[in-house]
Amino acid sequence: VIKYGGNAMVSEDLKKNFALNIVMMKYIGINPVVIHGGGPQIDETLKALGIQSQFVQGQRVTNKETIDVVEMVLGGKVNKEIVSLINSQGGNAVGITGKDGDLILAKRHKRVKHSPETDRPEIIELGLVGEITKVNPKILETLDQNEFIPVIAPIGKGENGETLNINADYVAAHIAAALKAEKLILMTNTEGVKNKAGKLQSGLTRKNTTNMIRNKVIRDGMLPKVNCCLDALKSGVRKTHIIDGRIRHALLLEIFTEEGIGTQIVEKDKDLKPV
């Protein structure tokens, strides 16, 4: 299961390269499932429509007006562009959202933060932002069995049938868990996880990773990505990877070379490289 995002979705050369890598993986017997982001494309469309974005603790507050744009951009423009790219390289991709086949069921996500003024927990409403309650992988298994490559927009179906916007890393981790996937790969705009001295860590166990979180070596934007990897491992995914999507052939280099190019996170030492 591959989360496709960052610069790899912007550069024309990297987009074509990603599509080629996905087709090659399918050709040699690996069944890739792609989940994509699209934050910059959403921002661009909202700006063009004169709709202002509001963020709380790094998450977009999504009202009815915004969710219509999110669904249009992620489920339409971005999703179909990726499908076309893969198919132009000889693949057989099919684009869906989490609403298709009830793939992703979700509830509204609420954040709790401590309020210094009242000294009590405070609930932050993010609007139409989802927290996954269930993944129904049947549609993905059917597509895989029929040699299709699923490309999924991170949109879920709410408890009342409403559309919910869900973080793409989080969706990828849940889908990897539901499929009992061999690997979860998160493509990012960073080299991977680095230690205190700023050196890239090519292989980490759950224990190493937990210590780095405790010591605040892993923090900020990397923390939720690493937590997605740990959650996926706990659910039976064998190996997780955080890689630099700005590198050509990043996927193939991480999977098929002994040293890899990013960070592999596994349960125990015995699970580390070779991939």
User: Is residue 272 in a domain?
Assistant: no
Region 2-10: mean pLDDT is 87
Assess contact for 274 and 266: CB atoms under 8 A.
no
- pLDDT > 60? residue 125: yes
User: Is residue 7 in a domain?
Assistant: no
The domain total for the chain is 1
pTM listed for this prediction: 0.92
Region 151-171: mean pLDDT is 96
Write out the residue range of the structural domain in which residue 135 sits.
34-161
Q: Note if the bond before 121 is cis, omega within 30 degrees.
A: no
Task: Give the per-residue pLDDT at 208.
Answer: 94
User: Is residue 177 in a domain?
Assistant: no
Query: Which band of pLDDT confidence, cut at 50, 70 and 90, is reported for residue 116?
Result: low
Region 188-192: mean pLDDT is 92
User: Is residue 180 in a domain?
Assistant: no
Region 251-260: mean pLDDT is 88
Region 242-252: mean pLDDT is 93
- pLDDT > 80? residue 57: no
User: Is residue 270 in a domain?
Assistant: no
**Does 60 or 9 have the greater pLDDT score?**
9
User: Is residue 187 in a domain?
Assistant: no
Give percent above pLDDT 90 in the chain.
Answer: 79
User: Is residue 119 in a domain?
Assistant: yes
Task: Give the per-residue pLDDT at 172.
Answer: 98
Return the CATH number at 94. Answer: 3.40.1160.10
- pLDDT > 60? residue 105: yes
Region 65-93: mean pLDDT is 96
